[in-house]
Structure 1
Amino acid sequence: MAESGDQIVSLRGKVCLVTGASSGIGAGTALLFARLGARLALNGRNEEKLKETANACEQLSEQKPLLVSGDLVDEAVVRRVVEETVAYFGQLDVLVNSGGILTMGTIENTTLDDFDRVMNINVRAIFYLTHLAVPHLIQTKGSIVNVSSVNGQRSPRGDYNGCPSQSRSKRRAIRTVPTAHSAHARPGTPRNCG
């Protein structure tokens, strides 16, 4: 699991909430955290794929993850994800904001509805999840990890050329954690962006 010279990290006993866990980076993060012994709460829109991720995690750790399926564009789902995680486990140590979407388009053909949907999931949901999780993370000296994209650092090229909502949303995702960290940080409080 670890390269020579790398430290092996343990998340044994840590409660980790991973959004976007039904596929991609979110599913991969859930599997890694399961290997590292985390107690998992998983969120995703596709309930069938979310169950597949959960089953794979359970095979790795022999712990059954809590599943809180639903679309993060819905504020009630966002609240439910955090509330059910804390009610079930009694704490929250790590929030991984991996849920997100990409719509292809240029400034000329991206509709306001497309733009709003991307911003609502890639920015607003991250903000609200972080807002709800911070009081619990302060208690456990926990961490927030926002999954972003190279599109948040520079303008995309090739097939992604122009995706105005994607690049703007990922740029804002990158800035959410440092902003929250600045407001609540105590010396030695970890922050993670990526």
Structure 2
Amino acid sequence: MNTTDTYLKNQLLIAMPHLADPNFAQTLIYLVEHNEHGAMGLVINRPSGLELADIIEQLRPEQPPAPDSYEQPVFSGGPVQTDRGFVLHDSGWQYQATLDLGELALSTSLDVLYAIADGHGPRRSLITLGYAGWDAGQLETEITENAWLHCPCDARLLFELPAEQRLAAAAASLGVDLNLLSSQAGHA
């Protein structure tokens, strides 16, 4: 068996209703990386209350943010490195620090934030502060313990649906209604 077939890179993790950890309860996570060394993902349905304009005002106080940057929410991407920004966007855009993920790309340099704020960046993007991380084998264990479901990522879900609808939409793509699942987990 090819072990790369079991990795979930570029998939979505759907938190099960019984997942009580406040960092992950009711979250939907895009998996940027998953391999034998662990996993890294971004929570994509938890707005932080900040907009891109708030960040730009801090980084470039001499230049007022463009009006559109007040409409670009910033998400709480996870509990690790919460002061670090991550921008998930359509592929085809290259910045100082960009990782090609196939249909999508992840950029972590300031130039992507400035490009988006100034209207020259990717049309579709999702900005987070922080990320979620798992050690080797940890995510696999959590999936075995029924903490997560997973499904293929649909970029429309990431960029076009309101944040509060993303979790239910991802579950529905599997034919699952999270409201009908018990908050108790077990094995037969």
TM-score, structure 2 as length reference: 0.24
* Larger strand percent: 2
* Larger helix percent: 1
Structure with the larger RCO, 1 or 2 (CA within 8 Å, 6+ apart): 2
